[in-house]
Amino acid sequence: MKLTKQKKILLFKKYFTITAHKKMAKKQPQKPAQKPVPKSNIGGQKPSETKNMVTDGAKPALLRQLCPYFPGIILFFIALVVCLFTYQDYGICWDEPFQRAPGVLSYNYAFHGDQALFNTVTDNHGAGYESLLVIFEKLMGLTDSRDIYLMRHLVTNVFFLVSALFAYVLIFRLSKNKILASLGFIMLELAPRLYAHSFFNSKDIPFMCMITSTLTICQAAFEKNKKWLFFILGIVAGYATSIRIMGVMLYAVILFFLLIDLVTDLDRKSTR
């Protein structure tokens, strides 16, 4: 079978095009096979990088939770700096040595078994806070009376500042207003009689501080309904009672709130 001239030309064109394509394919470098990306990784990142992303995302969430309390923390540290520069300017109150005595007797009984606590006439104030001051005194090895009373003034004022911060937290949690909470801190802090007594009054000021702290923890415990918060509430209320017997009134407040919760819970169950 003879081929015509046109068919020969077409066959030569097909042959040359096929050979040209094969040569081009050989010259092009082959791409390496891509490894499959594990599904557990995010965006093809390593597990360590993914873990860092999770922890970095948790930090802003924590900062957002603490952000409303930053004004109170700033006010606390400003007042603390003022305290460190001025606490030596306050003298000893006339009854301060008498207030220290029950703390010394309680410390000696608790750590040395001294029975003088039961044979000595003291006032009707508890020794909860005084014992704490004597423990600090012994741990720091203070023997000079000036150093002892300066330490007591410093610790008592810091105790007062912490309670003012608790007051800020309580006001903010109730009002959701940082300005109002800051005003509450400043008004409590700058009350002339309270601020002066926050250095040398080791019975009334600590008791007031514990009432403020107890009410703050009480509000948080009833709002979040956490068992560990109620446990802390019991400890704080008990310590307030160890300072002054009037702390028992805190239990009446707590029982009143518990009664309200019980009634509201029964009402919800009856409406279902």
Overall average pLDDT of the 74-97 stretch: 94
Of all residues in the chain, the percent with pLDDT exceeding 70 is 77
If pLDDT is split at 50, 70 and 90, which confidence band does 42 have? very low
Element (H, E) at 163: helix 145-175
Q: Give CA–CA dist 16/28, Å, rounded.
A: 19
What pLDDT shows up at residue 68?
Answer: 85
Element (H, E) at 133: helix 128-139
**Which of 19-28, 102-111, 165-174 is least confident?**
19-28
Overall average pLDDT of the 76-97 stretch: 94
Q: For the residues of 92-131, what is the DSSP string, one character each?
A: --TTHHHHHHHHHHHHHHHHH--GGGGTS---S--SHHHH
Q: Which two three-digit tokens encode residue 143?
A: 């023997």
User: Quick check: 119 pLDDT over 90?
Assistant: no
Say which residue, 81 or 56, is predicted with more confidence: 81
Q: Which two three-digit tokens encode residue 102?
A: 């029950």
